[in-house]
Amino acid sequence: MTSLATQQNINDEFEEINRFATLYLELPEGLKHQTQIRANLFGATKSISGEIVFQTGMCGYIEALTDPSYAHQLLVLTYPLIGNYGVPKFGKSDPKWPELLTDGFESDRIWPAALIVDRICEEGEYSHYEAATSLSKWLCDHGVTGLCGIDTRMLTKIIRTYGTLRAKVQYKRSSIKVEQG
């Protein structure tokens, strides 16, 4: 028989190896909807919280991630497979217009605190000739947490139904609180 502390260590080691996290939604009081969603991590492995929002485009994840309007939010993309064209060299500009960023970047950094997708293209499986890196590596390099393995269309219906929601991504057993705001 294992002690509670030993079981906790086993669970933490399992999460470290398999990179799991839990998404918690703060729903209005009185709702009987699931508020915890287990998911796989990609990108940076850290716990974060903020407002959860969605984007329904079929492409343009690079533009969405570099759009300042998503600052500090948890961004849900509803298209089922994300990352299939990779990420071009970050910040590459046109010599004719050096003050403008090209290749789909809206700014010079990633703004959302987290990216939530149904499926992420496997490392090295992106297929665009200008791709310099994978989406997962790009997020990791910029300290942005990613979650996959979530039914993002169901999640979007919840957000549409109940309006603005606060959420947090908890990696391991951190004590992060849902930010109020």
Within-domain flag for 180: no
Q: Is the pLDDT of residue 10 over 50?
A: no
**What percentage of the chain has pLDDT greater than the value 90?**
46
Q: Which of 4-18, 98-112, 137-151, 162-176 has the highest mean pLDDT?
A: 137-151
DSSP, res 32: -
**What percentage of the chain has pLDDT greater than the value 70?**
73
pLDDT (tens digit per residue) in 63-76: 999 999 999 999 99
- State the CB neighbour count (10 A cutoff) for residue 89: 12
Within-domain flag for 97: yes
pLDDT of residue 13: 47
Residues spanned by the domain of 115: 4-171
Q: State the Cα–Cα distance between residues 140 and 152, nearest whole angstrom.
A: 21
Amino acid 29 reads E
Q: Is the pLDDT of residue 93 over 70?
A: no
Q: State the Cα–Cα distance between residues 92 and 87, nearest whole angstrom.
A: 11
Task: Report which of residues 7 and 30 the model is more confident about.
Answer: 30
Within-domain flag for 49: yes
- State the CB neighbour count (10 A cutoff) for residue 124: 10
Question: What average pLDDT score do residues 23-47 get?
Answer: 82
CATH number at residue 133: 3.50.30.20
Number of independent structural domains in the chain? 1
> Is the pTM value of this prediction over 0.75?
yes
Q: State the Cα–Cα distance between residues 124 and 66, nearest whole angstrom.
A: 22
pLDDT of residue 176: 54
